[in-house]
Amino acid sequence: MNKTTTRLADGRELIYFDADDSAVRDAPDLRPLERGAPLSEVRRDPATGDWVTIAAHRQGRTYHPPADECPLCPSRDGRLSEIPAADYDVVVFENRFPSLARSTATGGSGSPDPLHLSSPGTGRCEVVCFTADHGLSFADLTEARARLVLDAWTDRTAALAALPGVRQVFCFENRGTEIGVTLAHPHGQIYAFPFTTPRTVKMLTAATAHRARTGRNLFEDLLAAERTDPERVVLAGEHWTAFVPYAARWPYECHLYPNRRVTDLTRLTEPERAEFPLLYLELLRRFDRLFIQRGQTAPVAPTPYIAAWHQAPTRGGDELALHLELFTIRRTVGRLKFLAGVESGMDAFVNDVSPEAAAQRLREVATAAVSRSAK
């Protein structure tokens, strides 16, 4: 992998990740950009203890531009974009409209009042472009390109976790307008949070209680139980296992775990990294075939999904297990799972599809021959 770091016209960092070690990336950003001044802070909800990010400046971010004005496509044919090069493999750059930034134009109140705690929204938000081809999706990537994306995620996890004040690094992809995506180009994001996210706090609390009760790790026991009784297992390789969780919240939700517990992406071994693209691409392709109507060979529309890497916080997270959660808000052809009263109001999910039926469906819609060890 060849890594080239440069700067955009407004000072933001941009990094090229190339499979070709001899690739040269020296095209300058010729746009007349001024350095942004993000207005970001984090405020603590005294009723739950959760931290909420306030980023009012993001109202003006780019919203559903036409394909020929996509800011994530390469700069070519006289049109300048966020990526100065005329082509690229994988690119990571600082978000122009970040929820969190290393320097913000506002700070916390500094008030000692426990009901009004706040602090500057310091952190970092990055965009990860998976390919220069606007019309592709992650599922269309080759195994080699998916591996390059994994290497980029790993590189950024290490770099961002080392920044002062960063407590957790979150790599994720949103796909589909139904999810809320405003740029159609295949891409994901990385957030470096100045706090541990609420979902992670819940998982660590459960893992701590499990350790106190059993003396064992919660996630190791969870994965072992699914592999022993594989009713909900979708794919099983030598180094990774994908399964629908017993208490899935979403109609179609699948978790992908390395069989050896590690806390973050930087701790994966080479064999684990090598196998990941095979299983993950197959899983994404199966998601794309979930909602094919009778008599058709292709879905009416791509499956909207969120793919989220759960990694341990930078401190106090040794009980957590690295894993990827993939889920869609579509529950059947033409129908979405809306988070209405009980979900949005009380965080109490109601799932319309049994996890066992979802796992069976994901096994049925296999799209390609997989290796004997990953059926």
Name the residues annotated as catalytic: 187
What separation in angstroms does the CA of 123 have from each of 184, 303, 317, 370?
25, 31, 19, 40
Q: Which residues contact 155 (CB under 8 A, 6 or more apart)?
A: 3, 15, 17
What is the SS3 assignment for 104-157?
CCCCCCCCCCCCCCEEECECEEEEEECCCCCCCCHHHCCHHHHHHHHHHHHHHH
Say how far apart CA 327 and CA 289 lie, in whole Å.
14
Q: DSSP character for 74?
A: B
Sign of the torsion angle spanned by Cα atoms 344, 201, 240, 128: positive
Q: Which residues contact 347 (CB under 8 A, 6 or more apart)?
A: none
Say how far apart CA 175 and CA 157 lie, in whole Å.
21
Say how far apart CA 334 and CA 336 lie, in whole Å.
7
Within 13 A of 124's CA, how many CA atoms are on the CB side?
A: 26
Closest to 321 (Cα-Cα) out of 226, 203, 177: 203
Say how far apart CA 145 and CA 277 lie, in whole Å.
9
